[in-house]
């Protein structure tokens, strides 16, 4: 059973447990001994099932059960035993007789209070998991115990005029509550995470491994309510132990290209504009140069990319972050950390050498949840020196703009002609907050690159679904067959339709929807013939006239999802899960009550905390770093580290058996555990965050700081 399923099952069992204990108590109070006894029996079975489900979940790792094993389960077991001992015999006796006297007997406090108490204890465990999550600490444990004790005392007092020892019990409860609240809410000293000591092997699912990590996590737990550790504080903490402090503003790209490289200059102006997605469908957007996506930036490897960003009228400010591109830290575009956001009327010039070949994208990082959603993004494609793409090379950013799925700059099917035999490359970019599923029908193909990095020995694919994480990129390559090829997104309408040259694309759209390389062989489509208000579905059925894809291929929803960790062939990597790591960080992702930007919120948390209270991860230049990311929640978290690509070591304890996987964004689904590694070889101050930007906005981000690098910026929130 998957961890996700076990988590759901455990939740179901815990709800059943709480409901049946409370039900038994309520029916006993209502003088219905038979119903109460039946519910009591179910509650006992449910409680035992809860013990089983928690222990089963523990097999996935300590992170998934820490608060359950240290508090919820002991509390439930103790309360169930008390209820069984006190209420059990009386219920059974009354159920057998069922006369008035025994009916009256089961409404006595000695029966009702323990039954309800077990229900409160079970409910407390659920509340703890949802509101606090990982990790449980002594403060929250005391608070929870106080709440349960208070509820039991209150119930007892309501049922009986005389409760023995009420005063001292109440006093103890109040003391526990105050002590717990003090532990939870009083600030402790700010902290940075230095990473736990190297552990050697990477055995998964072992309890001792989790227990080791717990030691490191305690630091985070006691940090709740601490002052922000970021915005320069983290950096100065690092510099205290490092060499000469270096401001991040010194870590900039060169002014001139390396020998043989050209300067690729681009001007981007952020401004509000209305964009047309299809005839009749206009959307107001935040744009670069009046268009969404922004201008397509292209360069050859070794060129100097120089981008002058101006802000016309985006009042919240704007920056440029180069997603997946390992630029110098001062060019990374994180407001409040590497620069100040560019205000209306302001400008900022970014310069960096195009060292990485492949498919990337750029977007604003100021109030990025809104900014990117509104359209402040574009594509960046770098090709090898002197090897301009041949054939048809399409860059296809996929985005939800104004509630409509847009491929390139259109919400309609894009139709292209290509001569059979033409090499085709489709560069898929997910600029949304959630994953998209791509299918390609009509031809076998290869997934040749992920997040800009070529895969090793990618095999031929057909009839599979490709799930692309938010922020991620896939490059698909194939040779144009004599029949049409169809790319679908989320198994809905045709997104891109390639038809053999000579076929009449009767309903072809304007071919400008995607970025096209200069060498493309595709012909321009006819002028749009669709009428206003055409839905994508209509466009699909109309476009079907351009040549039929075999009927069997149209049911793409059934196609299995490609497992990237098993695709392609292995190749040597500079480090493996058996390497000795200088730093070891664990990020447990969850939801819970936490302060984010000074306000209490039901936040997306990392180790129980939210930005900016999550300890900054500190590394030294040259460190080999292992990052373990655990998802305890019910949302998918596309994890994204700036400035470095990471090598996937394992997912859910299984090593990568296919091509080495170098990613800049990896989708950590509910219940998953990812181990990734990277070499700290790009000094600076970096964001390490969930690329579901609404999650990041609700606290799910932290900083990774190199020792000795400082930031003069204290302004914006860095999101």
689 lies in the binding site for Cu ion (CB under 5 A):
no
At closest approach, how far in Å is the CB of 694 from Cu ion? 8
Q: Which is nearer to Cu ion, 467 or 695 (CB)?
A: 695
Tell how strand 297-300 and strand 304-311 pair up.
Answer: unpaired
Strand partners, 689: 640, 701
Separation CA 49–CA 12 (nearest Å): 10
The helix or strand, by DSSP H or E, that contains position 40, with its residue range, turns out to be helix 33-58
At closest approach, how far in Å is the CB of 465 from Cu ion? 21
At closest approach, how far in Å is the CB of 635 from Cu ion? 6
Radius of gyration of the chain (CA): 29
8 Å CB contact between 382 and 354:
yes
Separation CA 399–CA 582 (nearest Å): 39
At closest approach, how far in Å is the CB of 55 from Cu ion? 28
Q: Which is nearer to Cu ion, 13 or 690 (CB)?
A: 690
At closest approach, how far in Å is the CB of 695 from Cu ion? 3
Q: Which is nearer to Cu ion, 147 or 701 (CB)?
A: 701
Phi, psi of 60 (to 5 degrees): -85, -10
* DSSP string of 650-716, one letter each residue: EETTEEP-SS--EESEEEE-TT-EEEEEEE--S-SEEEEEESSHHHHHTT-EEEEEETTEE----SS
At closest approach, how far in Å is the CB of 651 from Cu ion? 17
Q: Which is nearer to Cu ion, 303 or 590 (CB)?
A: 590
At closest approach, how far in Å is the CB of 611 from Cu ion? 12
637 lies in the binding site for Cu ion (CB under 5 A):
yes
* Mask for 694-713, x = binds Cu ion (CB under 5 A): -x------------------
Q: Which is nearer to Cu ion, 427 or 695 (CB)?
A: 695
b/e for 230-269, b at 16 or more Cβ within 10 A? Answer: bbbbbbebbbeebeeebebeebbbeeebeeebeebebebb
Which long-range contacts does 238-242 make (Cβ < 8 Å, 24+ apart)?
238/192, 238/618, 238/705, 238/706, 238/707, 238/708, 238/709, 238/710, 239/707, 239/708, 239/709, 239/710, 241/707, 242/620, 242/707, 242/708
At closest approach, how far in Å is the CB of 334 from Cu ion? 18
At closest approach, how far in Å is the CB of 432 from Cu ion? 13
Q: Which is nearer to Cu ion, 319 or 692 (CB)?
A: 692
**Which of 692, 707, 710, 711 lies at the binding interface for Cu ion (CB under 5 A)?**
692
Q: Which is nearer to Cu ion, 435 or 505 (CB)?
A: 435
User: What sections of 459-554 are H helices per DSSP?
Assistant: 536-543
8 Å CB contact between 498 and 423:
no
**Which of 690, 693, 701, 705 lies at the binding interface for Cu ion (CB under 5 A)?**
690
At closest approach, how far in Å is the CB of 370 from Cu ion? 16
Task: Name the token pair of 338.
Answer: 């590497």
- Site size for Cu ion, by CB under 5 A? 4
Q: Which is nearer to Cu ion, 277 or 589 (CB)?
A: 589
152 lies in the binding site for Cu ion (CB under 5 A):
no
Residue 270: name the closest of 250, 256, 288, 243 by CA. 288
Could you tell me where the beta strands, DSSP code E, fall in 480-608? Answer: 485-489, 494-500, 515-516, 583-596, 599-606
Residue 323: name the closest of 87, 63, 640, 17 by CA. 640
* Mask for 660-679, x = binds Cu ion (CB under 5 A): --------------------
* Share of the chain residues as helix, strand and coil, in percent rounded to the nearest 5: 30, 30, 40
At closest approach, how far in Å is the CB of 619 from Cu ion? 23
At closest approach, how far in Å is the CB of 400 from Cu ion? 16
Residue span binding Cu ion (CB under 5 A) among the ranges 10-18, 114-122, 431-439, 683-691: 683-691
Residue span binding Cu ion (CB under 5 A) among the ranges 122-130, 500-508, 656-664, 682-690: 682-690
Q: Which is nearer to Cu ion, 50 or 642 (CB)?
A: 642
Separation CA 397–CA 414 (nearest Å): 13
Q: Which is nearer to Cu ion, 594 or 690 (CB)?
A: 690
- Do you find a cis peptide bond into 612, omega within 30 degrees of 0? yes
Q: Which is nearer to Cu ion, 33 or 633 (CB)?
A: 633
Q: Which is nearer to Cu ion, 534 or 672 (CB)?
A: 672
- Calculate helix-pair angle for 73-97, 33-58, nearest 10 degrees: 160
* Mask for 597-636, x = binds Cu ion (CB under 5 A): ----------------------------------------
Residues of the shown chain interacting with Cu ion in the complex, contacts defined by CB under 5 A: 637, 690, 692, 695
């Amino acid at each position: 059973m998957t961890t996700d399923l076990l988590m759901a099952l455990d939740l179901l069992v815990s709800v059943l447990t709480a409901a049946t204990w409370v039900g038994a108590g309520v029916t006993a109070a209502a003088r219905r001994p038979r119903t109460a006894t039946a519910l009591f029996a179910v509650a006992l079975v449910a409680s035992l099932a809860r013990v089983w489900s928690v222990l089963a979940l523990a097999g996935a790792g300590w992170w998934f059960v820490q608060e359950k094993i240290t508090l919820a389960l002991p509390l439930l077991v103790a309360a169930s035993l008390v209820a069984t001992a006190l209420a059990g015999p009386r219920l059974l006796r009354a159920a057998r007789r069922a006369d008035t006297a025994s009916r009256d007997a089961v409404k006595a406090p000695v029966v009702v209070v323990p039954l309800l108490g077990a229900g409160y204890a079970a409910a407390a465990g659920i509340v703890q998991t949802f509101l606090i999550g990982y990790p449980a600490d002594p403060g929250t444990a005391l608070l929870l115990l106080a709440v349960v004790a208070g509820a039991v005392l209150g119930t007892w007092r309501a049922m009986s005029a005389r409760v023995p020892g009420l005063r001292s019990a109440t006093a103890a409860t109040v003391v526990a509550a105050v002590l717990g609240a003090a532990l939870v809410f009083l600030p402790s000293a700010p902290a940075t995470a230095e990473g736990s000591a190297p552990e050697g092997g990477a055995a998964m699912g072992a309890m001792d491994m989790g227990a080791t990590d717990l030691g490191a996590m305690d630091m985070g737990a006691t940090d709740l309510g601490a002052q922000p550790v970021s915005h320069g504080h983290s950096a100065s903490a690092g510099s205290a132990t490092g060499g000469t402090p270096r401001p991040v503003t010194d870590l900039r790209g060169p002014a001139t290209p390396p020998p043989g490289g050209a300067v690729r200059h681009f001007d981007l102006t952020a401004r509000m504009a209305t964009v047309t997605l299809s005839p009749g469908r206009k959307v107001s957007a935040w744009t670069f140069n009046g268009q969404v996506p922004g201008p397509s930036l292209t360069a050859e490897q070794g060129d100097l990319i120089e981008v002058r960003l101006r802000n016309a009228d985006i009042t919240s400010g704007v920056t440029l972050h180069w997603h997946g591109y390992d630029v110098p830290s001062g060019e990374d575009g994180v407001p409040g950390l590497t620069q100040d956001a560019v205000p209306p009327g302001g400008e900022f010039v970014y310069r960096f050498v195009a060292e990485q070949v492949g498919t990337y994208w750029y977007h604003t990082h100021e109030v990025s949840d809104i900014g990117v959603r509104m359209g402040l993004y574009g594509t960046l494609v770098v090709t090898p020196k002197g090897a301009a793409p041949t054939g048809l090379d399409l860059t296809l950013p996929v985005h939800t703009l104004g509630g409509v799925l847009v491929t390139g700059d259109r919400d309609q099917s894009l139709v292209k002609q290509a001569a059979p035999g033409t090499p085709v490359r489709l560069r898929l970019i997910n600029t949304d907050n959630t994953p998209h599923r791509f299918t390609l029908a009509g031809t076998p193909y290869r997934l040749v690159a992920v997040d800009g990095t070529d895969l090793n020995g990618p095999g031929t694919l057909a009839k599979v679904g490709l799930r692309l994480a938010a922020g991620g990129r896939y490059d698909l390559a194939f040779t144009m067959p004599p029949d049409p090829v169809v790319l679908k997104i989320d198994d809905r309408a045709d997104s891109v339709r390639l038809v053999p040259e000579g076929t009449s694309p009767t309903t072809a759209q304007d071919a400008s929807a995607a970025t096209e390389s200069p060498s493309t062989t595709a012909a321009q489509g006819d002028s749009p013939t669709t009428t206003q208000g055409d839905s994508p579905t209509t466009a699909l059925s109309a476009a079907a006239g351009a040549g039929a894809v075999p009927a069997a291929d149209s049911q793409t929803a059934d196609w299995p999802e490609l497992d990237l960790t098993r695709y392609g062939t292995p190749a040597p990597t500079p480090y493996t899960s058996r390497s000795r790591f200088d730093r070891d960080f664990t990020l447990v992702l969850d939801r819970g009550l936490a302060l984010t930007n000074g306000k209490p919120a039901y936040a997306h948390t990392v180790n129980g905390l939210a930005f900016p209270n999550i300890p900054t991860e500190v590394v030294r230049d040259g460190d080999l770093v292992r990052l373990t990311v655990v998802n305890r929640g019910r949302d998918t978290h596309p994890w994204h580290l700036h400035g470095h690509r990471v090598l996937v070591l394992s997912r859910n304890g299984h090593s990568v058996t296919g091509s080495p996987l170098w990613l800049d964004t990896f989708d950590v689904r509910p219940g998953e555990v990812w181990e990734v590694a990277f070499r700290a070889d790009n000094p600076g101050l970096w964001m390490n965050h969930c690329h579901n930007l609404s999650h990041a906005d609700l606290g799910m981000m932290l900083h990774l700081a190199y020792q000795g690098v400082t930031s003069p910026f204290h302004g914006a929130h860095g999101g």
